[in-house]
Amino acid sequence: MTGYTRRDFLKCLSQGLCSMGLISQVDNLCPSLMTPHVWAQEEPNVKEVMFYKKLADLKIQCEICPKKCEIADLERGYCGNKENRKGSYYSLVYGQSCAAHFDPIEKKPLFHYLPSTTAFSIAAVGCNFECKFCQNWKIAQYRPEQIESIYLPPHEVVSLSKERGCPTIAYTYSEPVVFYEYMYDTSKLAKKEGIGSVMISNGYINEAPLIELCKELTGVKIDLKAFSEKFYKDYCSGELKPVLDTLKTLKRIGIWYEIVVLLIPTLNDGDQELTQMCQWIKSELGAEVPVHFSRFHPMYKIINLPSTPVKTLENARNIAKRAGLHYVYIGNVPGHEGESTYCPGCGEVVIKRIGYSILKNAIKAGKCSNCGRTIPGVWEKA
Protein backbone atom coordinates (compact mmCIF):
# COMPACT_ATOMS: atom_id res chain seq x y z
CA MET A 1 0.00 0.00 0.00
CA THR A 2 1.09 3.58 -0.45
CA GLY A 3 1.86 5.89 2.46
CA TYR A 4 0.24 3.88 5.26
CA THR A 5 0.21 0.44 6.74
CA ARG A 6 -2.61 -2.05 7.14
CA ARG A 7 -2.33 -1.40 10.88
CA ASP A 8 -3.02 2.30 10.30
CA PHE A 9 -5.98 1.42 8.14
CA LEU A 10 -7.43 -1.03 10.64
CA LYS A 11 -7.03 1.54 13.40
CA CYS A 12 -9.00 4.08 11.41
CA LEU A 13 -11.70 1.51 10.66
CA SER A 14 -11.98 0.47 14.29
CA GLN A 15 -12.42 4.11 15.28
CA GLY A 16 -15.30 4.38 12.84
CA LEU A 17 -13.56 6.93 10.63
CA CYS A 18 -14.32 5.07 7.44
CA SER A 19 -18.06 4.96 7.91
CA MET A 20 -20.66 3.13 5.88
CA GLY A 21 -20.99 4.21 2.30
CA LEU A 22 -20.99 7.98 2.61
CA ILE A 23 -17.27 8.53 3.07
CA SER A 24 -17.24 10.99 0.25
CA GLN A 25 -17.56 13.46 3.13
CA VAL A 26 -13.83 13.97 3.52
CA ASP A 27 -14.04 15.36 7.05
CA ASN A 28 -14.99 11.88 8.24
CA LEU A 29 -11.83 10.29 6.86
CA CYS A 30 -8.42 9.64 8.30
CA PRO A 31 -6.35 12.10 6.21
CA SER A 32 -3.25 9.90 6.20
CA LEU A 33 -5.16 7.31 4.16
CA MET A 34 -6.07 9.63 1.33
CA THR A 35 -4.34 9.55 -2.04
CA PRO A 36 -5.18 11.69 -5.08
CA HIS A 37 -7.32 10.05 -7.73
CA VAL A 38 -5.13 11.25 -10.61
CA TRP A 39 -1.78 9.50 -10.79
CA ALA A 40 1.06 11.22 -12.61
CA GLN A 41 2.80 8.18 -14.11
CA GLU A 42 1.71 4.62 -13.53
CA GLU A 43 -1.99 5.16 -12.80
CA PRO A 44 -2.45 1.95 -10.76
CA ASN A 45 -6.17 2.73 -10.58
CA VAL A 46 -6.55 2.27 -14.35
CA LYS A 47 -7.19 -1.16 -15.86
CA GLU A 48 -8.59 -2.32 -19.17
CA VAL A 49 -12.24 -3.33 -19.02
CA MET A 50 -12.92 -7.05 -19.44
CA PHE A 51 -16.15 -6.88 -21.46
CA TYR A 52 -16.32 -4.47 -24.41
CA LYS A 53 -15.93 -4.50 -28.16
CA LYS A 54 -14.09 -2.14 -30.46
CA LEU A 55 -15.98 -0.25 -33.16
CA ALA A 56 -14.96 1.93 -36.07
CA ASP A 57 -13.40 5.37 -35.62
CA LEU A 58 -11.89 4.53 -32.20
CA LYS A 59 -15.34 4.01 -30.69
CA ILE A 60 -16.14 1.16 -28.32
CA GLN A 61 -19.28 -0.51 -26.98
CA CYS A 62 -19.37 -1.53 -23.33
CA GLU A 63 -20.78 -5.03 -22.82
CA ILE A 64 -20.90 -5.21 -19.02
CA CYS A 65 -24.45 -3.98 -18.49
CA PRO A 66 -27.64 -3.74 -20.58
CA LYS A 67 -27.12 -0.05 -21.32
CA LYS A 68 -24.45 -1.13 -23.86
CA CYS A 69 -23.05 2.38 -24.07
CA GLU A 70 -21.33 3.32 -27.34
CA ILE A 71 -18.47 5.61 -26.42
CA ALA A 72 -16.28 7.81 -28.57
CA ASP A 73 -12.58 8.39 -27.96
CA LEU A 74 -11.88 10.29 -24.71
CA GLU A 75 -15.48 9.93 -23.59
CA ARG A 76 -17.07 7.95 -20.74
CA GLY A 77 -20.13 5.77 -20.42
CA TYR A 78 -23.23 6.28 -18.29
CA CYS A 79 -21.52 5.12 -15.09
CA GLY A 80 -18.83 7.78 -15.46
CA ASN A 81 -15.95 5.67 -14.12
CA LYS A 82 -14.69 4.12 -17.37
CA GLU A 83 -13.06 5.92 -20.27
CA ASN A 84 -12.32 5.26 -23.92
CA ARG A 85 -8.66 5.97 -24.61
CA LYS A 86 -7.82 5.71 -28.31
CA GLY A 87 -10.21 2.82 -28.88
CA SER A 88 -9.45 0.87 -25.71
CA TYR A 89 -11.76 0.99 -22.69
CA TYR A 90 -10.41 1.47 -19.18
CA SER A 91 -11.78 1.41 -15.65
CA LEU A 92 -10.61 4.47 -13.71
CA VAL A 93 -11.42 3.04 -10.27
CA TYR A 94 -9.42 -0.17 -10.11
CA GLY A 95 -8.26 -0.55 -6.50
CA GLN A 96 -9.79 2.80 -5.60
CA SER A 97 -12.05 2.28 -2.59
CA CYS A 98 -14.26 5.24 -1.71
CA ALA A 99 -15.87 3.32 1.15
CA ALA A 100 -14.49 0.61 3.41
CA HIS A 101 -16.01 -0.82 6.56
CA PHE A 102 -16.36 -4.02 8.57
CA ASP A 103 -20.09 -4.79 8.58
CA PRO A 104 -22.29 -7.54 9.99
CA ILE A 105 -23.33 -9.73 7.08
CA GLU A 106 -26.94 -9.12 8.18
CA LYS A 107 -26.53 -5.47 7.15
CA LYS A 108 -26.26 -6.34 3.44
CA PRO A 109 -28.87 -7.85 4.14
CA LEU A 110 -28.03 -11.53 3.74
CA PHE A 111 -29.95 -13.64 6.27
CA HIS A 112 -29.11 -17.13 5.01
CA TYR A 113 -25.39 -16.56 4.69
CA LEU A 114 -22.96 -17.21 7.58
CA PRO A 115 -25.04 -15.55 10.35
CA SER A 116 -23.18 -13.45 12.94
CA THR A 117 -20.09 -13.10 10.75
CA THR A 118 -18.44 -9.95 9.44
CA ALA A 119 -17.97 -8.84 5.86
CA PHE A 120 -15.21 -6.47 4.80
CA SER A 121 -17.29 -4.10 2.68
CA ILE A 122 -15.78 -1.95 -0.07
CA ALA A 123 -17.00 0.25 -2.91
CA ALA A 124 -15.75 2.32 -5.80
CA VAL A 125 -17.44 5.39 -7.28
CA GLY A 126 -20.24 5.06 -9.81
CA CYS A 127 -23.51 3.37 -10.77
CA ASN A 128 -25.38 2.32 -13.92
CA PHE A 129 -28.69 3.49 -12.40
CA GLU A 130 -29.81 6.79 -10.99
CA CYS A 131 -32.32 5.78 -8.34
CA LYS A 132 -34.10 8.86 -7.06
CA PHE A 133 -34.23 7.27 -3.61
CA CYS A 134 -30.57 6.23 -3.42
CA GLN A 135 -29.17 6.27 0.12
CA ASN A 136 -25.56 6.34 -1.10
CA TRP A 137 -25.97 8.90 -3.86
CA LYS A 138 -22.93 10.85 -2.67
CA ILE A 139 -20.71 8.13 -4.05
CA ALA A 140 -22.97 6.40 -6.56
CA GLN A 141 -23.86 9.52 -8.54
CA TYR A 142 -20.42 11.13 -8.70
CA ARG A 143 -17.36 10.67 -10.88
CA PRO A 144 -14.02 9.37 -9.57
CA GLU A 145 -12.27 12.73 -9.62
CA GLN A 146 -15.01 14.22 -7.44
CA ILE A 147 -14.56 11.74 -4.58
CA GLU A 148 -11.63 11.08 -2.28
CA SER A 149 -10.61 7.42 -2.39
CA ILE A 150 -8.17 5.06 -0.73
CA TYR A 151 -5.83 3.04 -2.90
CA LEU A 152 -6.75 -0.46 -1.77
CA PRO A 153 -5.77 -3.03 -4.41
CA PRO A 154 -7.12 -6.60 -4.35
CA HIS A 155 -4.24 -8.15 -2.41
CA GLU A 156 -4.61 -5.56 0.35
CA VAL A 157 -8.37 -6.14 0.56
CA VAL A 158 -7.70 -9.85 1.02
CA SER A 159 -4.92 -9.21 3.57
CA LEU A 160 -7.15 -6.93 5.63
CA SER A 161 -9.94 -9.49 5.55
CA LYS A 162 -7.59 -12.20 6.79
CA GLU A 163 -6.19 -9.99 9.57
CA ARG A 164 -9.67 -9.23 10.87
CA GLY A 165 -10.91 -12.79 10.47
CA CYS A 166 -13.60 -11.81 7.95
CA PRO A 167 -14.85 -14.87 6.05
CA THR A 168 -16.41 -12.65 3.39
CA ILE A 169 -15.69 -9.58 1.28
CA ALA A 170 -18.76 -7.60 0.20
CA TYR A 171 -18.84 -5.35 -2.86
CA THR A 172 -21.53 -2.88 -1.93
CA TYR A 173 -22.67 0.71 -1.17
CA SER A 174 -22.46 1.92 -4.81
CA GLU A 175 -22.97 -0.51 -7.74
CA PRO A 176 -20.34 -3.27 -8.02
CA VAL A 177 -21.23 -4.01 -11.65
CA VAL A 178 -19.53 -0.75 -12.65
CA PHE A 179 -16.28 -1.64 -10.84
CA TYR A 180 -16.39 -5.13 -12.24
CA GLU A 181 -12.63 -5.66 -12.76
CA TYR A 182 -11.80 -4.60 -9.20
CA MET A 183 -14.48 -6.93 -7.82
CA TYR A 184 -13.54 -9.83 -10.11
CA ASP A 185 -9.82 -9.77 -9.34
CA THR A 186 -10.40 -9.36 -5.61
CA SER A 187 -12.91 -12.21 -5.53
CA LYS A 188 -10.61 -14.49 -7.47
CA LEU A 189 -7.69 -13.81 -5.13
CA ALA A 190 -9.91 -14.11 -2.04
CA LYS A 191 -11.19 -17.50 -3.21
CA LYS A 192 -7.64 -18.83 -3.27
CA GLU A 193 -7.27 -17.74 0.35
CA GLY A 194 -10.52 -19.37 1.46
CA ILE A 195 -12.42 -16.09 1.73
CA GLY A 196 -15.86 -15.72 0.17
CA SER A 197 -17.19 -12.78 -1.85
CA VAL A 198 -20.72 -11.40 -2.15
CA MET A 199 -22.03 -8.85 -4.64
CA ILE A 200 -24.69 -6.43 -3.38
CA SER A 201 -26.19 -5.27 -6.65
CA ASN A 202 -29.09 -3.87 -8.64
CA GLY A 203 -28.73 -6.87 -10.95
CA TYR A 204 -28.28 -4.74 -14.07
CA ILE A 205 -25.60 -6.85 -15.70
CA ASN A 206 -25.32 -8.85 -18.91
CA GLU A 207 -25.32 -12.63 -18.81
CA ALA A 208 -21.74 -13.31 -19.93
CA PRO A 209 -20.00 -11.12 -17.32
CA LEU A 210 -22.43 -12.36 -14.67
CA ILE A 211 -21.65 -16.00 -15.36
CA GLU A 212 -17.91 -15.33 -15.37
CA LEU A 213 -18.11 -13.37 -12.11
CA CYS A 214 -20.20 -15.97 -10.31
CA LYS A 215 -17.38 -18.47 -10.73
CA GLU A 216 -15.56 -16.44 -8.06
CA LEU A 217 -18.47 -15.33 -5.85
CA THR A 218 -20.14 -17.18 -2.98
CA GLY A 219 -23.33 -15.12 -2.79
CA VAL A 220 -25.38 -12.33 -4.37
CA LYS A 221 -28.02 -9.93 -3.09
CA ILE A 222 -30.22 -8.30 -5.73
CA ASP A 223 -32.27 -5.16 -5.19
CA LEU A 224 -35.52 -5.67 -7.06
CA LYS A 225 -36.67 -2.07 -7.23
CA ALA A 226 -40.24 -2.79 -8.28
CA PHE A 227 -42.23 -5.03 -10.60
CA SER A 228 -42.97 -2.34 -13.15
CA GLU A 229 -41.09 -1.19 -16.23
CA LYS A 230 -42.51 2.29 -15.68
CA PHE A 231 -41.01 2.47 -12.18
CA TYR A 232 -37.62 1.37 -13.45
CA LYS A 233 -37.72 3.96 -16.22
CA ASP A 234 -39.06 6.87 -14.17
CA TYR A 235 -37.23 6.33 -10.88
CA CYS A 236 -34.08 4.32 -11.74
CA SER A 237 -33.20 5.16 -15.37
CA GLY A 238 -33.18 1.44 -16.05
CA GLU A 239 -35.29 -1.54 -17.09
CA LEU A 240 -36.96 -4.35 -15.18
CA LYS A 241 -36.52 -7.23 -17.64
CA PRO A 242 -32.70 -7.45 -17.46
CA VAL A 243 -32.93 -7.66 -13.67
CA LEU A 244 -35.44 -10.50 -13.90
CA ASP A 245 -33.11 -12.20 -16.38
CA THR A 246 -30.26 -11.84 -13.87
CA LEU A 247 -32.34 -13.51 -11.17
CA LYS A 248 -33.16 -16.42 -13.48
CA THR A 249 -29.48 -16.76 -14.37
CA LEU A 250 -28.50 -16.84 -10.71
CA LYS A 251 -30.98 -19.64 -10.11
CA ARG A 252 -29.69 -21.58 -13.10
CA ILE A 253 -26.07 -21.18 -11.98
CA GLY A 254 -26.91 -22.39 -8.51
CA ILE A 255 -25.17 -19.63 -6.54
CA TRP A 256 -26.78 -18.47 -3.29
CA TYR A 257 -28.81 -15.26 -3.70
CA GLU A 258 -31.40 -13.21 -1.84
CA ILE A 259 -33.78 -10.45 -2.98
CA VAL A 260 -34.50 -7.09 -1.36
CA VAL A 261 -37.48 -4.89 -2.26
CA LEU A 262 -37.49 -1.35 -0.87
CA LEU A 263 -41.15 -0.42 -0.53
CA ILE A 264 -41.83 3.25 -1.25
CA PRO A 265 -45.31 4.55 -0.33
CA THR A 266 -47.60 5.00 -3.37
CA LEU A 267 -44.83 4.13 -5.87
CA ASN A 268 -44.26 0.37 -5.70
CA ASP A 269 -46.32 -0.91 -2.77
CA GLY A 270 -49.67 -1.69 -4.44
CA ASP A 271 -51.28 -5.06 -3.74
CA GLN A 272 -51.61 -5.98 -7.41
CA GLU A 273 -47.96 -5.25 -8.20
CA LEU A 274 -46.73 -7.08 -5.10
CA THR A 275 -48.93 -10.09 -5.88
CA GLN A 276 -47.58 -10.27 -9.43
CA MET A 277 -44.01 -9.94 -8.15
CA CYS A 278 -44.38 -12.70 -5.58
CA GLN A 279 -46.13 -15.02 -8.01
CA TRP A 280 -43.32 -14.47 -10.51
CA ILE A 281 -40.69 -15.23 -7.87
CA LYS A 282 -42.49 -18.42 -6.84
CA SER A 283 -42.95 -19.67 -10.41
CA GLU A 284 -39.56 -18.64 -11.85
CA LEU A 285 -37.23 -18.86 -8.85
CA GLY A 286 -39.00 -21.12 -6.38
CA ALA A 287 -40.35 -20.89 -2.86
CA GLU A 288 -36.96 -21.07 -1.13
CA VAL A 289 -35.40 -17.75 -2.21
CA PRO A 290 -35.40 -15.26 0.70
CA VAL A 291 -37.25 -12.01 0.00
CA HIS A 292 -36.75 -8.93 2.18
CA PHE A 293 -39.29 -6.08 2.18
CA SER A 294 -37.43 -3.05 3.51
CA ARG A 295 -38.63 0.23 4.90
CA PHE A 296 -38.02 3.39 2.87
CA HIS A 297 -36.96 6.66 4.45
CA PRO A 298 -36.96 9.98 2.53
CA MET A 299 -33.67 10.28 0.66
CA TYR A 300 -31.91 12.01 -2.25
CA LYS A 301 -34.61 13.22 -4.69
CA ILE A 302 -37.61 11.63 -2.97
CA ILE A 303 -38.07 13.65 0.19
CA ASN A 304 -41.76 14.44 -0.19
CA LEU A 305 -42.96 10.97 0.83
CA PRO A 306 -43.16 9.57 4.37
CA SER A 307 -41.28 6.57 5.65
CA THR A 308 -42.98 3.31 4.79
CA PRO A 309 -45.66 2.39 7.35
CA VAL A 310 -44.92 -0.87 9.13
CA LYS A 311 -48.39 -2.08 8.14
CA THR A 312 -47.42 -1.76 4.48
CA LEU A 313 -44.41 -4.01 5.06
CA GLU A 314 -46.55 -6.50 6.97
CA ASN A 315 -49.08 -6.52 4.13
CA ALA A 316 -46.32 -7.24 1.60
CA ARG A 317 -45.03 -10.07 3.77
CA ASN A 318 -48.49 -11.59 3.99
CA ILE A 319 -48.93 -11.35 0.20
CA ALA A 320 -45.60 -13.13 -0.29
CA LYS A 321 -46.47 -15.88 2.17
CA ARG A 322 -49.86 -16.41 0.49
CA ALA A 323 -48.01 -16.73 -2.82
CA GLY A 324 -46.10 -19.62 -1.29
CA LEU A 325 -42.74 -18.04 -0.47
CA HIS A 326 -41.13 -19.65 2.58
CA TYR A 327 -38.66 -17.03 3.77
CA VAL A 328 -40.06 -13.51 3.81
CA TYR A 329 -38.52 -10.75 5.91
CA ILE A 330 -39.24 -7.22 7.04
CA GLY A 331 -36.22 -4.90 6.99
CA ASN A 332 -35.33 -1.63 8.71
CA VAL A 333 -37.79 -2.30 11.55
CA PRO A 334 -35.57 -3.59 14.40
CA GLY A 335 -37.35 -5.97 16.77
CA HIS A 336 -40.14 -6.93 14.37
CA GLU A 337 -40.96 -10.64 14.24
CA GLY A 338 -40.46 -10.46 10.47
CA GLU A 339 -36.70 -10.16 11.01
CA SER A 340 -36.45 -13.78 12.17
CA THR A 341 -36.25 -17.02 10.18
CA TYR A 342 -38.99 -19.62 10.69
CA CYS A 343 -38.81 -23.25 9.67
CA PRO A 344 -41.43 -23.91 6.96
CA GLY A 345 -41.79 -27.45 8.31
CA CYS A 346 -42.54 -27.03 12.01
CA GLY A 347 -42.90 -23.26 12.32
CA GLU A 348 -40.16 -22.91 14.93
CA VAL A 349 -37.89 -19.87 15.01
CA VAL A 350 -34.56 -21.17 13.73
CA ILE A 351 -32.78 -17.79 13.68
CA LYS A 352 -33.98 -15.01 15.95
CA ARG A 353 -32.77 -11.53 14.99
CA ILE A 354 -33.04 -8.06 16.40
CA GLY A 355 -31.46 -5.60 14.02
CA TYR A 356 -28.06 -6.99 13.09
CA SER A 357 -27.80 -9.14 16.22
CA ILE A 358 -28.46 -12.89 16.31
CA LEU A 359 -30.09 -14.00 19.57
CA LYS A 360 -30.67 -17.61 18.55
CA ASN A 361 -29.39 -19.89 15.80
CA ALA A 362 -31.00 -23.33 15.79
CA ILE A 363 -29.73 -24.39 12.38
CA LYS A 364 -27.47 -27.42 12.63
CA ALA A 365 -25.65 -28.67 9.53
CA GLY A 366 -28.07 -26.68 7.39
CA LYS A 367 -31.19 -28.14 8.99
CA CYS A 368 -33.81 -27.14 11.54
CA SER A 369 -32.67 -28.61 14.85
CA ASN A 370 -36.30 -29.23 15.82
CA CYS A 371 -37.71 -31.15 12.83
CA GLY A 372 -34.69 -31.77 10.60
CA ARG A 373 -36.00 -29.87 7.57
CA THR A 374 -33.29 -28.45 5.31
CA ILE A 375 -33.03 -24.66 5.50
CA PRO A 376 -31.37 -23.41 2.29
CA GLY A 377 -28.42 -21.08 2.56
CA VAL A 378 -24.67 -20.85 3.12
CA TRP A 379 -24.20 -21.94 6.71
CA GLU A 380 -20.55 -22.96 6.74
CA LYS A 381 -17.38 -21.35 5.44
CA ALA A 382 -16.06 -22.73 2.18
Residue 163 is classified by DSSP as: H
Residue 23 has pLDDT above 70, yes or no: no
Residue 166 has pLDDT above 80, yes or no: yes
DSSP H or E stretch at residue 119:
strand 118-123
Residue 6 has pLDDT above 50, yes or no: no
Residue 326 is classified by DSSP as: S
How big, in percent rounded to 5, are the helix, strand and coil portions of the chain? 30, 25, 45
Predicted local distance difference test score (pLDDT) of residue 28 = 35
Q: What is the pLDDT of residues 49-88, one digit of tens each?
A: 999 999 999 999 999 999 999 999 999 999 999 999 999 9
| Distances in whole angstroms, Cα of residue 198 to Cα of each of 120, 218, 224 | 10, 6, 17
Beta bridge partner(s), residue 236: none
Name the residue with higher pLDDT: 37 or 73: 73
Predicted TM-score of the model (pTM): 0.90
Q: Where are the alpha helices (DSSP H) in the chain?
A: 6-14, 137-140, 154-163, 180-192, 207-214, 229-231, 241-253, 271-280, 310-322
Helix axes 6-14, 154-163, angle to 10 degrees: 60
Confidence band for 335, pLDDT divided at 50, 70 and 90 = very high
